[in-house]
Amino acid sequence: RADRASPAGGDVTVRRSVPETVAGYRYDVRPVEDGCRADTCLRLTAPSPNVSVTVNVTASSEIRSIESPPGTLAFNLSGGGASGPSDSAQHVNVQPNIGVGQGVNKQADGGASVDATNQNPISGFIYAPGRPTTDDAVRFWNDTSDLDGSIVSYEWDFDGDDATDATGPTPTYQFESAGRHDVTLTVTDDDGSVDNVTRTVIVSDLLYNDDAVSFDLDGSGEAGGVRFNVTNNFEDRDIRIREVLIDPEDDDINRLDDGDNDDDDGAVELLIFGDEEIGGADFEERYWWYTVNGVSIPNDGLIVDISQDEDSNTNEARMSPGSAASVELAEFETSSDNQVDMSGEPLTVGFRYTVDGDNYVSTFTVVPDRPRIGNATVSDGGDGGVTADVAYDVADPNDDLSSVTVDLYDENTNSVDDSETTGVSGGTATGAASLSAAADGHEYVVRVTVTDAAGHSSTRVIPVEGGA
């Protein structure tokens, strides 16, 4: 099969089942061409050179493209073989080490064949958000299968120290530092068989300040531009921005045009610059990018390649540690050249950048002029059942706050068990709510939603630790 690796960043997952009898062979999936890197190799190994085993194998692993140019990545499944079982062979339990790599050919060990009486669990997990920052509480879900039984325990190691940091099928964890973090899930089934899987979670520290506003660049009366700030929170390390992804949620918003044919008056489609008022970003030069007649935005987003672009003043935008930078996009239009009022219009913005030679991707959902939740905390009310005491502070750039709703949401029944709504006004507000639900063993989250007078809203979801 072949998969397209998006230059906007992300993982390519290859899943391959091998339902054959395996006679001492080792299988692997590898890219046909170089350019990819993976953490492990798909390997099925018998416990000795004289024994082979019969198992069901599922390979599931992430492939990350180092530069990820547009194009196609092809993968081959090599190896294989089948052998009938031997009546005299002993029963053997095996724990396949499964992953994806390259450059490993099949090897035959030979020997007797056996049927495995117990099929080991095949561990796996997914997580969200897929590109977390140190600001995110990352939710993990197990994706484990056991073909002949059930899973009785889940143990999670989030920091690679071989100690259990959490148990259960759906924990939440917030990483304190950016970088590559090896997360291991170990599962045990009802026969006592154990399997584990390790995935690398890449955590970034380029943070969106949640402060987007719309603006009118050309004085047309439509606020078709978007301005927001990002902060380099990597400790003692520079960020070098390589690519910028621009993708409005509404596909009818499909052009970006500054309304001018050059940058003499500062009218450009993309501008990244430092602002002393927000921290003094340290650039070798501020970066701008412009087109003569505007540019179309494909349905899957426009990618501005800073490193290769010719209509700009530099080949990178560099941020020093702790600095903030302002980003301007102007102005958004429909295909008929009608400018769009971007107030309240969701927009995905992504940055591909390097830190000490390592590649990172940070993607944010930017909604101009919406109210913000500055802080929201949940503590256990301690009254039995599920209780949550919630404290929050909110703000609105246009000083027109309207209401704050806090609810206790049951993820098992997809329903709200308790809710409080408070009227607010002006530019800032603080408040609290106490919510409760019966002890029913379900998973709960608290949702804090702030709404302004224009109907724009923001929601923050906070897991309730421990459940019921």
Instruction: Assess contact for 101 and 126: CB atoms under 8 A.
Output: no
**Under 8 Å between Cβ of 407 and 419:** yes
pLDDT at residue 308 in the model: 60
Q: Write the DSSP symbol of residue 321.
A: T
146 against 386, higher pLDDT: 386
Q: What is the pLDDT of residue 245?
A: 92
8-state DSSP, 87: T
CA dist., res. 24 & res. 48, Å (int): 9
Q: Looking at residue 89, what DSSP letter applies?
A: P
Q: Which residues is 17 bridged to in the sheet? A: 58
Any idea what DSSP says for residue 315?
S
pLDDT at 267: 56
Half-sphere exposure of 214 (CA within 13 A, CB side): 22
Cα(152)–Cα(142) distance, rounded to whole angstroms? 12
30 half-sphere exposure, CB direction, 13 A CA radius: 16
pLDDT value at residue 337: 80
Q: Which residues of 47-64 are buried (b: 16+ CB within 10 A; e: fewer)?
A: eeeebbbbbbbebbbbbb
Longest dimension (CA), the chain: 86
Non-local (6+) Cβ contacts of 270 within 8 A are: 244, 246, 287, 288, 289, 290, 304, 327, 328, 329
User: What is the per-residue burial (b if ≥16 Cβ within 10 Å, else e) of 388-397?
Assistant: bbbebebbbb
- Give tens-digit pLDDT for 291-323: 767 889 999 899 988 766 555 555 567 788 888
Number of other residues whose CB lies within 10 A of the CB of residue 344: 15
Among residues 73, 173, 188, 179, the alpha carbon closest in space to that of 122 is found at 188
Q: Which residues of 425-455 are buried (b: 16+ CB within 10 A; e: fewer)?
A: eeeebebebebebeeeebbbbbbbbbbbeee
Lowest mean pLDDT: which of 133-147, 328-342, 344-358, 407-421?
133-147
Higher pLDDT pick, 463 / 19? 463
More confident of the two residues 320 and 425: 425
The predicted-structure confidence for 358-390, as pLDDT tens digits, reads as follows 889 899 999 999 999 988 888 775 556 788 899
First to last CA, the chain: 44
Token pair for residue 49?
Answer: 């050179």
Higher pLDDT, 305 or 69: 305
pLDDT of residue 416: 95
DSSP 360-418: EEEEEEE-TT--EEEEEEEEE--SSSEEEEEEEEEE-TTS-EEEEEEEEEETTTTEEEE
Q: In the chain, pLDDT over 90 holds for what percent of residues?
A: 32
Contact between 436 and 386 (Cβ < 8 Å): yes
Asked, as a colleague might, if the bond just before 129 is cis with ω within 30 of 0, I would say yes
Q: Are 456 and 372 in contact (CB under 8 A)?
A: no
pLDDT of residue 102: 38
Strand ranges (E), 81-232: 112-113, 125-128, 138-142, 151-157, 166-167, 172-173, 179-189, 194-203, 206-208, 213-215, 225-232
10 Å CB burial of residue 323 (0-12, 13-18, 19+) is buried
How much is the pLDDT for 165?
A: 94
Q: Indicate whether 215 pLDDT > 80.
A: yes
| pLDDT tens by residue, 267-300 | 578 888 754 434 444 444 456 776 767 889 999 8
In contact, 45 and 26? CB cutoff 8 Å: yes
Neighbouring CB atoms inside 10 A of 248's CB total: 25
β-strand partners of 388: 380, 435
Q: Name which residue leads in pLDDT, 307 or 146.
A: 146
User: Regarding predicted confidence, which is higher, 386 or 427?
Assistant: 427
Q: What value does the mean pLDDT take over residues 416-443? A: 91
